Structure formats: C-alpha cells, structure tokens
Structure 1
Amino acid sequence: MQKITTYLWFDDQAEEAANFYTSVFGNSRIVDVQRYNEAVPDRAGQVMLVVFELAGQRFIALNGGPQFTFTEAVSLYVDCESQKEVDELWARLTDGGEESQCGWLKDRFGLSWQIVPRQLTELMNDPDPDRAVRVTQALFGMRKIDIRGLLDAAGR
C-alpha cells in the first residue's frame, strides 16, 4: 500500500466516479467497494467507500453526503506525453464537465484536473527569457493546451 492516498469526498457518486475514472486511464481498476452497515440506518447497504487505482496510483472515494464539495484549491495533475493524450483526456474529462484556462478543467463530478503536456515545463523554463515569456503568454490564451501553439510561440 502506498504511504499517502488521495481521499475524495462525494455526495453519493463515489462508485459512479470511480468507474468513470478507471475507464479513462490505463492501468486502472476498482480495488474494493465497502458498504454502510446498520450503524448508519439511513444508508445501510449503500456504497460508503470505493478504493480504486488510476495509472497505478491508489485513491479512496467516500459517499459522505452533500456537506463538502470540491474546489479548485485541489486538482489532479496529469503529465501527458503527447497532444493526442492531451486531446483524449480533455475530451473524456470535460464530457459533462467544464473547461477552464491553461489546461485546467472540472469533470462532471466537480473535481479539478490539470491536463498538461510535458513540453510545457521545458518551454516555460527556456534559458531565453523572451521565449519563455512568449510561451507563457500563449498559454494564458488557451483552455486545452496546444503543444503546436506553444512551440510556435517559442519560435520552434
């Protein structure tokens, strides 16, 4: 078991969300589903926790009720190898969700994600400060990150 596991609080969509997320990412699976027992009579038999893995990383989803919701203060960052991967993840995760700026989005459950190509870090840390500024300015005009647009801004 990994030392630190991300714990996600849902109203009552933990199982639906875990099934969705495991369908989006390779090397993913549902590990365990636990149900409320009679100690919580109004929820007895309903799904309480879903333990799942995304790309080999473990998460726990709780059906805890409507008291807490997700905010952009916490997001899941996905390191993408290609524009194809960016495009595919963006399409799947924004389906029923909403786009934001600079590679950020909210999925249909309200969880924030950053879908980021590896090239972004390299381009933003270019030794030529003018090139890095142009890349950053180009990024600020994007919702889904476009690698070609970043490369064009860098003059590459």
Structure 2
Amino acid sequence: MTAFPAQEVPMTTDGFTTCLWFDGQAEEAAAFYVSVFKNSSIGRISRYTDAGPGETGSVLTVEFTANGQKFIALNGGPQFKFNEAVSFQILCADQAEIDHYWTKLTENGGEGGPCGWLKDRYGLSWQVVYDRLADMIHDPDGAKVDRAMKAMMAMGKLDVAALDEAYAGE
C-alpha cells in the first residue's frame, strides 16, 4: 500500500465535529445527551427560515458538547437512520460507570445489545466498555485473551468482575 503525505491544507485546530441526523428530535436529543454526560453543554441553535425546506422557525441545528466532544444535531428529515456501522465508545473505569451509562442510554426506549453495545432511544449505537478490556484482548498470553473474549461474548451489559476473573483464569 502506498502512503500519501498529508496535504498542506489549512484546517482548524479545534478537531472534528460529529453531525448527527435526526427527524425532528435534534433539540430533544441534544438535551438528552447533555444530561447523560459530564463536561457537556448546549450551544447555538439555528432555525429554518422561509427558504426551507423545514417549517419556518423550527429547529434546524443544535450545537452541543457531550463529554468534551463537539456535535451538531441536525433535523434533516426521515431519509436517514442510525445503524451499527457507527458507534461511540464510552470507556468506563468500573462497574458503577458502566451501570450509569447503560441505564441512562437504554431508558425510555433504548435497548441493550451484546458485548456492551446498546442503542439509545434515538437509535444511536454506543459501546459501554470496561477500560481494561483493550489491554485484556491485546495481551500476548493467548489463553488470557481467549478467556476474556469468551466471557465478553456471553454478556450484554459488561460485568467488570466477571471479565477480571475470566482474564485471571479464576
């Protein structure tokens, strides 16, 4: 594979902003995400004008920050839906954090899935992950990796104690 050098194109140093497409729930969704995560806030809200295509005065976009990550919630219409091809990982230090995010993100219509994955009430996919899991599955000891993977594959919401025990061979 040929590596291409980065082009010298000016770019903001503020990183990336993730745009999330909604069908009329942008403001509601932004408020929900801000309520779930620390270091979060609602920013500017833009509204449709007479130029359309949305109803004049209705919300077009909501800028928000969730856990320090910048987002724009866009009321774009019913054409596109979220799917598992894109998800957000939440690295959690302990079971209390996993329980908190799992509960908050699955309440009011969200649903748990396998291996720490879930969908929130808007259909956005999340991975609520034990922060030690990456080290476990990259361990040079294949038996430890196998035990950790086998334990994780049998879980919905991750169980920190069970993962630690499986990894240790207990």
Q: TM-score, normalised by structure 2?
A: 0.88
Q: Which residue of 2 aligns with 1:30?
A: 42
Is the 8 Å Cα contact of residues 152 and 163 (structure 2) preserved in structure 1? yes
Q: Which runs of 5+ in 2 are unaligned?
A: 1-12
Conserved in 2, the CA contact under 8 Å of 1:50 and 1:62? yes
Query: Is structure 2 residue 99 aligned with structure 1 residue 97?
Result: no
The one-letter amino acid of 2:34's match is T
Partner of residue 137, structure 2: 124
Q: How far 1:127 sits from its partner (Å)? A: 2.5
- Runs of 4+ in structure 1 deviating by more than 2 angstroms, as ranges, are none
Q: Which moved more, 1:1-10 or 1:111-120?
A: 1-10
% same residue: 51
**Selected match of 2:86 from 74, 88, 102:** 74
Q: Distance in 2 between matches of 1:111 and 1:40?
A: 26
Contact 1:2–1:58 (8 Å) recurs in 2: no
Q: How many residues align?
A: 156
Q: CA deviation at 1:73?
A: 0.4
**Structure 1, unaligned runs of 5 or more:** none
- Normalising to structure 1: TM-score of the pair? 0.96
After superposition, the C-alpha distances for 1:3-24 in whole angstroms (9 at most, x for unaligned) are 3111000011000000000000
User: In 2, Cα distance between the equivalents of 1:39 and 1:15?
Assistant: 20
Higher helix fraction: Structure 1 or Structure 2? 1
